[in-house]
Amino acid sequence: GESVGLHLPTLSVQEGDNSIINCAYSNSASDYFIWYKQESGKGPQFIIDIRSNMDKRQGQRVTVLLNKTVKHLSLQIAATQPGDSAVYFCAENDNSGTYKYIFGTGTRLKVLA
Amino acid sequence: DSGVTQTPKHLITATGQRVTLRCSPRSGDLSVYWYQQSLDQGLQFLIQYYNGEERAKGNILERFSAQQFPDLHSELNLSSLELGDSALYFCASSVGGISYGYTFGSGTRLTVV
């Protein structure tokens, strides 16, 4: 069933192309960031993380870029596949010692066959 | 299976009623977090417990309360329910003390009619 908002920004990408999902974060004190993927009817799943002392981190088909100057985070997905269709959230820790995360509003990725 | 178990998966109840949502964290995790996800919003942090004690509070209404029991499972109690409380409620857990993000359950979909 529908799990997330109907009014999310949507990125439509052709299968096989690269996807770039962007996120602006708010807390300049945040020192740890995560990208989550949420498929319909499921809870968010961890994709990749990055600490504030890095500006790039690569995983399998995914890369996260961090620009602390403009408080911007991006997720790049290489060779996008139908299974990548989901809502993607960035999350920043609030760095208050509680390990609470603040989530962005999310971007819906649609992969076109 | 993420290891975080939430019950029930679906709940339909009438306005004014009270419900209890249950969460069993991943084995070894001491922290439990509750999030609310409405159709038009992202994930909103409600409350965090660490090893039985409340650690952080977010935008949790006074009609809502939570607790974490000695076996580390947690319950979120929602009372005097209103139509606007209809949402997905997620529980997440982490080991606590380490900012590695956390693992989400599959959520409870609450519908208030």
Q: How many Cβ atoms from other residues are within 10 Å of residue B17's Cβ? A: 13
- For position B66, what pLDDT does the model report? 97
- d(CA B54, CA B66) in angstroms, rounded, equals 9
- For position B101, what pLDDT does the model report? 75
Average pLDDT over residues A20-41: 91
User: pLDDT tens digits, residue range A86-103?
Assistant: 999 999 987 776 667 888
Nearest by Cα to A111 from A19, A8, A45: A19
Contacts of B4 in chain A (CB under 8 A): 43
With 60 as the cut, is the pLDDT of residue A29 above it? yes
Query: Quick one: closest CA in A to B91, which residue?
Result: A43
Contact criterion met (CB < 8 Å) for A98 and B48: yes
Residues lower than pLDDT 50 in chain B: none
Dihedral angle, C-alpha B89, B93, B21, A5, nearest 10 °? 10
With 80 as the cut, is the pLDDT of residue A64 above it? yes
Query: Quick one: closest CA in A to B5, which residue?
Result: A43
- For position A101, what pLDDT does the model report? 85
With 50 as the cut, is the pLDDT of residue A4 above it? no
Residue A52 forms contact with B (CB below 8 Å): no
Residue B27 forms contact with A (CB below 8 Å): no
**Structure tokens belonging to residue B41:** 């919003």
- For position A99, what pLDDT does the model report? 67
- For position A3, what pLDDT does the model report? 38
Which of B37, B55, B110 to mutate: most A Cβ within 10 Å?
B37
- The beta-carbon neighbor of B106 closest among A7, A43, A93 is A43
- For position B99, what pLDDT does the model report? 55
Q: Which residue has the tokens 């991943």?
A: B26
The alpha-carbon gap from B37 to the nearest alpha carbon of chain A, in Å, equals 7
Query: Quick one: closest CA in B to A43, which residue?
Result: B106
- For position B36, what pLDDT does the model report? 95
- The beta-carbon neighbor of B42 closest among A45, A93, A105 is A105
With 70 as the cut, is the pLDDT of residue A70 above it? yes
In chain B, the percentage of residues whose pLDDT exceeds 70 is 94
Average pLDDT of chain A, as a whole number: 89
The CA–CA distances, whole Å, from A57 to A34, A62, A63, A65, B22 equal 11, 9, 6, 7, 36
- For position A20, what pLDDT does the model report? 97
Contacts of B105 in chain A (CB under 8 A): 43
| DSSP for B20-86, written as a single string | EEEEEPPTT--EEEEEEE-TTS-EEEEEEEETTEEEEE-S--TTEEEEE-TTS-EEEEE-S--GGG-
Contacts of B24 (CB under 8 A, 6+ apart): B4, B5, B6, B72, B73
User: pLDDT tens digits, residue range A38-61?
Assistant: 998 889 999 999 999 999 999 999
- For position A31, what pLDDT does the model report? 87
